[in-house]
């Protein structure tokens, strides 16, 4: 294992510390799908050395998984797959459902869509308050013992909820929002992951594209775009974030890096982390290689913290993304 890879407990081999996130490829909340471009994007990521693909049934209501399955069938044995379960939907509106029956159905459906016999990492997408966590964990452990899952993870769980899960089944990973602007998990979840030898899959490391540095005060989003409902992108908050980005660009420039690469490297330097690089077009993969082979200095980290303290002293949490408990 080298500095560019990390071992997820239960995996046969280490995987790249940058994974491809495929929410946008599914199309839902990102302006609709473009299947051929999605396949090309996955292939480009594989060519760049990415060998972990993160997806979920709710991304396009099965569509993202189908595209991942198609892409990997054309380039077999090139990547591990992380997917999720525990979100049901009705009339294209998701809600939480982690009952044992739903879990088993979702695993079978995911195996079919992904065209594989075993899912490398299966994660509960959101905690379901209506289903005891130990019941969900027990069903996942059964599926693990049946050889349909290699490793188990959770997403958006608290440390207390992870403790309940771990009493029943081994927990290899946790997936949570994490980026320069969204850092609440540093208080509890990141220390928990370090203590319990879990890998943290950081979703949204570019904060829905904000940390690409390509947005400005005139940037707008259609109603079908997730960012139209993200408070950070609204007029009362957006200018402060853009001001922070201007200064973050200067810090990245001093290191000879783009802001996007700098932001991903920042996530990787925080601990046992994997950054989920979301993309839906092949050109959006450009830059992954630049993430590796260097680290932020203490001066860089201090500069980031100083910029946030001046411009975003009370950062907005991504709670707007949480799906309802029931339909």
**pTM for the full model?**
0.93
On whether residue 185 sits in a domain, the answer given is yes
Into how many domains does the chain fold? 1
Report pLDDT for 91. 81
On whether residue 253 sits in a domain, the answer given is no
- DSSP structure class, residue 197: T
Q: Give the bridge partners for 54, in sequence order.
A: 21, 82
On whether residue 314 sits in a domain, the answer given is no
Alpha carbons 110 and 116: distance in angstroms, whole number: 9
On whether residue 192 sits in a domain, the answer given is yes
Torsion angle (degrees, nearest 10) of CA 31, 49, 268, 282: -20
On whether residue 287 sits in a domain, the answer given is yes
CATH of the domain at 271: 3.20.20.100
- Domain of 185 in residue numbering reads as 5-212+258-294
On whether residue 178 sits in a domain, the answer given is yes
Alpha carbons 65 and 56: distance in angstroms, whole number: 6
Catalytic residues: 59
Unique residue bearing structure tokens 């330097």: 269
3-state secondary structure of 230: coil
Phi and psi of 89, rounded to 5°? -155, 155
Q: Give the bridge partners for 201, in sequence order.
A: 175, 274
Nearest in space to 211 (alpha carbons), one of 180, 237, 183, 172:
180
Nearest in space to 200 (alpha carbons), one of 251, 279, 275, 310:
275
Q: Give the bridge partners for 20, in sequence order.
A: 53, 277
On whether residue 313 sits in a domain, the answer given is no
Average pLDDT along the chain, 327 residues, taken 10 residues at a time? 86 95 70 78 94 92 92 89 92 89 97 97 96 98 98 97 98 97 96 97 93 89 79 90 97 97 97 93 89 96 98 84 68
CA distances from 295 to 18, 252, 255, 265, 290 (A): 15, 12, 10, 7, 11
Alpha carbons 68 and 291: distance in angstroms, whole number: 24
Alpha carbons 57 and 106: distance in angstroms, whole number: 8
Nearest in space to 135 (alpha carbons), one of 165, 174, 96:
165
Alpha carbons 203 and 211: distance in angstroms, whole number: 13
Nearest in space to 45 (alpha carbons), one of 76, 14, 21:
21
Q: Evaluate whether 66 touches 91 at the Cβ level (below 8 Å).
A: no
- DSSP structure class, residue 291: G
Q: Evaluate whether 231 touches 320 at the Cβ level (below 8 Å).
A: yes
On whether residue 72 sits in a domain, the answer given is yes
């Amino acid at each position: 294992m080298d500095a560019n890879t990390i071992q997820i407990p239960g995996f046969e081999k280490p995987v790249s510390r940058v994974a491809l996130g495929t929410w946008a490829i599914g199309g839902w909340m990102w302006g609709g799908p473009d299947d051929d471009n999605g396949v090309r994007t996955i292939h480009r990521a594989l060519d760049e050395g990415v060998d972990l693909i993160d997806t979920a049934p709710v991304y396009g209501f099965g569509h993202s998984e189908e595209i991942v399955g198609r892409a990997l069938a054309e380039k077999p044995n090139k990547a591990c797959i992380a997917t999720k379960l525990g979100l049901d939907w009705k009339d294209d509106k998701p809600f939480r459902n982690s009952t044992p029956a739903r879990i088993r159905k979702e695993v079978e459906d995911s195996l079919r869509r992904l065209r594989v016999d075993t899912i490398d990492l299966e994660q509960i997408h959101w905690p379901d308050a209506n289903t005891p966590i130990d019941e969900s964990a027990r069903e996942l452990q059964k599926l693990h013992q049946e050889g349909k899952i290699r490793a188990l993870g959770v997403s958006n769980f608290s440390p207390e909820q992870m403790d309940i899960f771990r009493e029943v089944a081994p927990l290899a990973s946790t997936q949570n929002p994490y980026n320069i602007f969204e850092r609440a998990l540093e208080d509890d979840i990141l220390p928990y992951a370090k203590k319990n030898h879990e890998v943290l899959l950081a979703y949204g490391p570019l904060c829905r594209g904000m940390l690409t540095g390509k947005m400005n005060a005139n940037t707008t989003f259609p109603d079908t775009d997730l960012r139209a409902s993200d408070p950070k992108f609204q007029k009362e908050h957006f200018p402060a974030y853009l001001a922070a980005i201007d200064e973050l660009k200067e810090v990245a420039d001093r290191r000879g890096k783009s802001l996007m690469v700098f932001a991903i490297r920042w996530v990787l330097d925080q601990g046992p982390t994997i950054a989920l690089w979301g993309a839906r077009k092949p050109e959006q993969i450009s830059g992954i290689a630049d993430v590796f082979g260097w680290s932020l200095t203490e001066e860089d980290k201090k500069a980031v913290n100083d910029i946030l303290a001046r411009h975003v002293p009370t950062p907005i949490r991504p709670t707007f993304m949480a799906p309802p408990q029931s339909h």
